[in-house]
Structure 1
Amino acid sequence: MPSPEVARESPTEQPAAAPKLVQGPEANVTVAVADNQSVRAETATTVTLEVTNDGDQRATDIVVTLQAPSGAVSLGSLASPRSSQSRYLEDLSSDETATVDVDVAASTTEPGTYPLFATVQYRVDEPGDDADTSAGSNETTPDEDERVVTGGPSSLGIAVREAPVFDLTPVGGDIPIDGEGVYEVRITNDGTETVSDIVTTVDAGPSLSSESPMAYVGTLSPGDAETVRFAFESSPDAIETTAGVAMTLAYDTDADSLIPFVAIAIVFVLVGIWWFRRR
């Protein structure tokens, strides 16, 4: 008795898997993160790497390729993250160290250390007779005087710090239509680090204008707060409503911090200006 025919479904297309990182032989050119480098969560900053030639021969045409294996940290900017990036060095003498800069972005993640992986490829000048052509070697011989050496990937630990934490609370700001008023905002440092040189800038949209949209706050230790004030003038065409105010905070971490932090800017949207029609 013939067996019943079984219907077969056409296979569905599967997404391509991320390339697998395979540990290669060690090379004499190594890559490490320079001291006091970190990235704050939800920001991107420049991280300095140190490339060192630990070998006895001069290395030339050095290419350092970085790979971000997870979404916690990426290369480039937050707006255009990349999973890999390369840097080139012309040469390194024996025991010489050079630095390269890469932009590293950290997503919304917990503070900690997250990996980047670095591979290196470079040339060394040696007589062709000394070239290692045995099976499993990490060296090839393009001509009798050069060898191409590859190494890695090696793991680089990128320190990610907590995201900036501020509380912004409107404490006053009734602006009459076709009139002037003062808008006040209380800024509290809810984070765990002291921040300094805080400068605030506001942009309330087309119906409001200010001749001084910037205010200097100074330094806020954890838990400290400061109230800033902005003078606004409303348009005669404004209507009675509540408007959103975009506030930008630019600041640095405390100069005594062990890990320096590049000035950043964060945009908050506040609701607190009430335009009312004068009667």
Structure 2
Amino acid sequence: MRPALRVFLVGLLLLSVTLPATAQDDQSVVGNPELALFAPDNLLIPGEENVVEVYVANTGSVDRGGPASYLDRVTTARATTLELRPGRAPVTVDTGRYPAGTLPTGTHGPYRFTVIADDDAEPGRYELPVVVTYTYTHIVRYDADNPDREPRFSDWDVTRRLTLVVKVDDRPRFSVGDVESDVQVGSRGTVTVSMTNDGVQTARDTVVTVTATDPEVRFAENATRAEAFVGSWEPGETRRAEYVVDVAPDAAQREYPLRAVVDYRDVRGVDRRSRVLTLSFRPDPEQTFAIQEVNDTLRVEATGRIAGELVNTGTRSVTDAVLVVRSPPESFTALEREYPLGDLAPGDRVPFEFTVAVPNDADPGPRRFGFDVEYETSGGYDVVSDRIDISRAVGERRDVLTVEAVDSTVEIDSDNRLELLVTNVGDETLTDVRASVDPVDPLSSDAPAAFVGTLAPGESTSVAVQVTVDDDAVATTHPMTMTLTYEDERGVSRTAAPLVVGLEIVEPTTTVPVVALVAVVAVVVVGAAWWWLRR
């Protein structure tokens, strides 16, 4: 207790004992609380929120003793409040007046205060003023001979100014500067973070770890966090850390937050971790492409083409672009599935063409073809674009070969040579053309196939096959199915739709055998000679 206050209280006590009447038998207990403040962990990190835990020690002071209950009364601080103030220290106190309540003798706490040291605070020791208010009983008067008589209390309200010592740490501390990004929505790129050691000590073996908090952002191998080794980091030095980042194709174009922490070893060899730093990056719009000016020559049972122009409709140049047929219609065959496009600046147009074989059993009508673009970004990352769908109509089947019989008459009970005229009525040269017949009763064949060879558009060639007619056949017109196979100009082997040739089956022609004719002549000669001799 301060000396002036103690003298004042003693004077009041002496004055009270001179009063007449009932006060002559009173006794008194005189004392007061004695408060002191402590913060065992008083280290402040500049630029961070620091929680300072304050303890209050009440040792109490007794000037005149008495019963224990009255001693507790005069040494207890009641309705106690603590108000931590910055004073002249480079700090901000975010906690207001703290109600500590009743504080008897002993140690109380902790009472937590949030203190932010300025980013540029100089390391060292600082004294923070603490305004303490409380109420206490400084005198208890009681009648020792009459315990039933109520004691009388003299209460005082006290405001004191105490001091709390804190220390601004000299460890490394870090801040985020520029954040650069070449990432586009739907692709992979690099995010580069510039950070500065704002402390006064060197950080060693430094690793900067960033964590993605948004599900649309991932690092390499679909990870949610990535590390960059920085090494030794001097005070005031700015370093750059690079991270490979993927942004989902359906992600919005907005700021995406990342959280960073710095792990390092200080000059004492102690491993430490910085506070969490928040940064963000904004991806560029998604790289897009379009297919325009499309034309085709697709039809059933033919090998045609799809052609058009691939346009870079995005905002970035791409390198080594390749247009890929990803999903042709079922049973359609793209003879080449990739078409090199080269480097494309924004707005560039490159023509392309794919050869597509349409199967014989396909139906005419619209079909959807899916494409995508494989390319390399400016950062050297391989990316595949979203799928580009186009719809094309497949035309009706068109015959490319015709067959007709040069002489369609065949005789019953005979082997017949059937001559056929094969004509290329298409618009491309056909190779390895082969013709074969598929006879059914009463027809058969021991040599049903013939090789035609190469036919240019409009060219015809005659070939022959053997056809046998059974002896029990009847004269009629009978159909015979023809099969033609060939290879088109793109090397695709095809089988033409079956063709039917009508054959005229006739009775065999009647002729006189030579032996019978000689016999008749001999009889006539012999008869004539006999008649001549008898004359």
Alignment TM-score, normalising by the size of structure 2: 0.36
CA distance in 1, matches of 2:173, 2:282: 23
Contact 2:172/2:203 (8 A) holds in 1? no
Match of 1:28 among 169, 172, 175: 172
Residue 298 of structure 2 corresponds to 175
CA displacement, residues 106-157 of structure 1 (integer Å, 9 cap, x when unaligned): 55323x654322112333351xxxxxxxxxxxxxxxxxxx423221322334
Give structure 1 stretches of 5+ with no counterpart.
1-21, 127-145
Question: Is 2:308 the counterpart of 1:185?
Answer: yes
Residue 232 of structure 2 corresponds to 93
Residue 148 of structure 1 corresponds to 271
Bigger mean CA offset, 225-234 vs 161-170: 161-170
CA distance in 1, matches of 2:204, 2:324: 50
Tell me the CA shift for residue 205 of structure 1: 4.3
CA distance in 2, matches of 1:155, 1:249: 36
Tell me the CA shift for residue 52 of structure 1: 7.2
CA distance in 2, matches of 1:174, 1:51: 60
Question: Is 2:362 the counterpart of 1:238?
Answer: yes
CA distance in 2, matches of 1:211, 1:24: 66
What does 1:1-279 align with in structure 2 at a 5 Å threshold? 28=172, 30=174, 37-47=181-191, 56-57=201-202, 59-60=204-205, 62-70=206-214, 74-76=217-219, 84-87=224-227, 89=229, 92-95=231-234, 99=241, 101-105=243-247, 107-110=250-253, 114-126=256-268, 146-169=269-292, 171-203=294-326, 204-252=328-376, 260=379, 262-279=381-398
Kindly provide the amino acid, as one letter, of the partner of residue 215 in structure 1.
Y
Contact 1:215/1:229 (8 A) holds in 2? yes
Tell me the CA shift for residue 233 of structure 1: 1.1
CA 1:208–1:162: 2 relative to 1, 3 Å: same
Give 3-state SS (helix, strand or coil) of 1:42's partner.
Answer: coil
Kindly provide the amino acid, as one letter, of the partner of residue 358 in structure 2.
S
Contact 2:264/2:273 (8 A) holds in 1? yes
Residue 19 of structure 2 corresponds to none
Tell me the CA shift for residue 252 of structure 1: 4.2
Kindly provide the amino acid, as one letter, of the partner of residue 93 in structure 1.
S
CA distance in 1, matches of 2:355, 2:174: 56
Select the structure that is richer in helix.
2
CA distance in 2, matches of 1:28, 1:66: 18
Tell me the CA shift for residue 85 of structure 1: 1.3
Contact 2:172/2:266 (8 A) holds in 1? no
Residue 6 of structure 1 corresponds to none
Contact 2:219/2:243 (8 A) holds in 1? no
CA displacement, residues 4-30 of structure 1 (integer Å, 9 cap, x when unaligned): xxxxxxxxxxxxxxxxxx966887375
CA distance in 2, matches of 1:104, 1:24: 33
CA distance in 1, matches of 2:48, 2:371: 47
CA displacement, residues 40-75 of structure 1 (integer Å, 9 cap, x when unaligned): 012233445567777644524x5543233456x522
CA distance in 2, matches of 1:124, 1:70: 32
Tell me the CA shift for residue 231 of structure 1: 0.9
Contact 1:23/1:153 (8 A) holds in 2? no
CA distance in 2, matches of 1:192, 1:67: 28
Tell me the CA shift for residue 222 of structure 1: 3.6
Tell me the CA shift for residue 226 of structure 1: 2.9
Contact 2:175/2:197 (8 A) holds in 1? no
Kindly provide the amino acid, as one letter, of the partner of residue 387 in structure 2.
F
CA distance in 2, matches of 1:265, 1:169: 19
Question: Percent of counterpart pairs with the same letter?
Answer: 20
CA displacement, residues 75-126 of structure 1 (integer Å, 9 cap, x when unaligned): 237xx966x414274x82343968553434255323x654322112333351
Residue 9 of structure 1 corresponds to none
What root-mean-square deviation, in Å, do the aligned CA atoms of Structure 1 and Structure 2 show? 3.7
Tell me the CA shift for residue 249 of structure 1: 0.8
CA distance in 2, matches of 1:31, 1:67: 16
Contact 2:191/2:244 (8 A) holds in 1? yes
CA distance in 2, matches of 1:194, 1:103: 19
Contact 2:188/2:381 (8 A) holds in 1? no
CA displacement, residues 194-250 of structure 1 (integer Å, 9 cap, x when unaligned): 444322111314422223221122344444433311111122333334222121112
CA 1:58–1:114: 2 relative to 1, 3 Å: closer
CA 1:104–1:171: 2 relative to 1, 3 Å: closer
Kindly provide the amino acid, as one letter, of the partner of residue 74 in structure 1.
V
CA 1:178–1:51: 2 relative to 1, 3 Å: farther
Contact 1:242/1:271 (8 A) holds in 2? no
Give 3-state SS (helix, strand or coil) of 1:160's partner.
Answer: coil
CA distance in 1, matches of 2:226, 2:183: 19
Give 3-state SS (helix, strand or coil) of 1:59's partner.
Answer: strand
